Chain A
Amino acid sequence: MHRLLNINVCDFSVFCVKKGEELDKKRTIQVLLLIMLLGASVRVARCYLVNWIERDPVAYITMSNYIAQGEIEKAIQIRPEIPPLHITLMAAMGKTGLFAEYAGVLISLVSGILIIFAVFLIASMIFDDKIALLAAFIASLQTELVHNSTFILRESLALCFMLFALYFAMWAIKNHSWWKWCLSGMLTALCGLTRPDGMEVFWAIPLWLFVSLIFCPTERKKILTKCLPGFVMFVIVFCVIAFPVQGYFQSYGSIYTALLDSRLLGLYLGLKF
Chain B
Amino acid sequence: MERLFKNLSFLTSWKFVNCIISTAPISLWLALLSFKRNWKTFLSNPVVRLFCVFAFLDLVVKFYKMITSGHFERRYMLPFLCVLIIFAADGLFNKLVPFLYKHLREKFPFLTLRKITIGLISILFIVYFIIIMIPSLDHPWYQSIRNIVQQECPKGEKPIILSNYPDVRLGYYANSELFVFSLKDFRLTNKARIYRKNWSSDKLIKNLPSGINSFVNNVKKLGGDNVFIFLYDVKDSDFRKFFKEEKKQFPFRLLKEYKARHNKPVCFYQFEGNKEYY
Contacts and interface: CB of A to CB of B under 8 A. Distances in A.
Contact of B49 (A123, A208, A268): A208
B190 interface: no
A138 B121 CA distance: 9
Interface in A27-62: 42, 45-46, 49-53, 55, 58-59, 61-62
A211 interface: yes
A132 interface: yes
Nearest to A60: B194
Contacts of A144: 23-24, 74-75, 77-78, 81
Of B77, B136, B142, chain A has the most CB atoms within 10 Å of the CB of B136
Interface stretch (A89-97, A195-203, A240-248): A195-203
Contacts of B143: 51
A87 B114 CA distance: 47
Contact of B121 (A15, A45, A122): A15
A134 B93 contact: yes
A137 B117 CA distance: 13
Contacts of B129: 42, 141
Interface in B227-245: none
A267 B114 contact: no
B261 interface: no
A170 B114 CA distance: 32
Interface string A169-198: 110011000000000000000000000010
Q: How large is the interface on B (under 10, 10 to 19, 20 to 34, 35 or more residues)?
A: 35 or more
A159 interface: yes
Given A144-B75, A174-B47, A12 B121 contact: yes
A73 to B, nearest CB: 12
A52 B68 CA distance: 30
Contact of B196 (A77, A134, A143, A268): A77
Contact of B68 (A50, A159, A267): A267
Contacts of B114: 13, 16
A51 B125 CA distance: 25
Contacts of A159: 78-79, 82
Given A153-B75, A170-B51, A135 B133 contact: no
Contacts, number: 197
Main secondary structure of the interface of B (DSSP, over half): helix
A45 B92 contact: no
A253 to B, nearest CB: 11
A131 B47 contact: no
Interface in A137-160: 137-139, 141-148, 153, 155, 159
Nearest to A215: B43
B93 A203 contact: no
Interface in B61-106: 61, 64-65, 68-69, 74-79, 81-82, 85-86, 88-90, 92-94
Nearest to B81: A144
A79 B68 contact: no
A122 B81 contact: no
Interface string A114-135: 0100110011011100111011
Contact of B90 (A125, A127, A208): A127
A197 B79 contact: yes
A53 B194 CA distance: 14
Given A46-B132, A58-B168, A197-B61, 6 more contacts: A16-B118, A141-B132, A200-B57, A200-B58, A200-B61, A268-B68
Interface of A: 12-13, 15-16, 42, 45-46, 49-53, 55, 58-59, 61-62, 77-80, 115, 118-119, 122-123, 125-127, 130-132, 134-135, 137-139, 141-148, 153, 155, 159, 162-163, 166, 169-170, 173-174, 197, 200-201, 203-205, 207-208, 211-212, 216, 219, 223, 261, 263-264, 267-268, 270, 273
- The 5 A-B residue pairs with the shortest CB-CB distance, nearest first, are A135-B89, A16-B114, A141-B128, A267-B68, A134-B89
8 contacts: A52-B138, A52-B169, A59-B168, A77-B196, A126-B90, A138-B85, A174-B47, A263-B69
